[in-house]
Amino acid sequence: HLSFYMPIPKNVSIKRRESLIGAYHIIRPDLDNCIKYYLDVAQSVLFNNDCTISEITAKKIYDTNPRTELSIKA
């Protein structure tokens, strides 16, 4: 599972910022491009080839602490 916590734009009012926390991030970058990047980076580190992956869940949401969280189940 990949969770992409995206930054809230600086031009958003303080009042609106709070309502965006946890809301879906529906602008660029595209979710599939974010996933692809992490699969490419993890290849040869976490797995030999990304063809061995049989299931992925992912989300992009706003947060005040931008980050990416990766959970792996074997």
pLDDT at 71: 93
- Rounded to whole angstroms, the Cα distance separating 15 from 22 reads 15
- pTM more than 0.85: yes
pLDDT at 73: 85
**Statement: residue 39 has pLDDT above 90:** yes
Rounded mean pLDDT, 2-7: 98
DSSP label at residue 33: H
Residue pair 60/34 in contact (Cβ under 8 Å)? The answer is yes
- Rounded to whole angstroms, the Cα distance separating 39 from 43 reads 6
Name the average pLDDT for the chain: 94
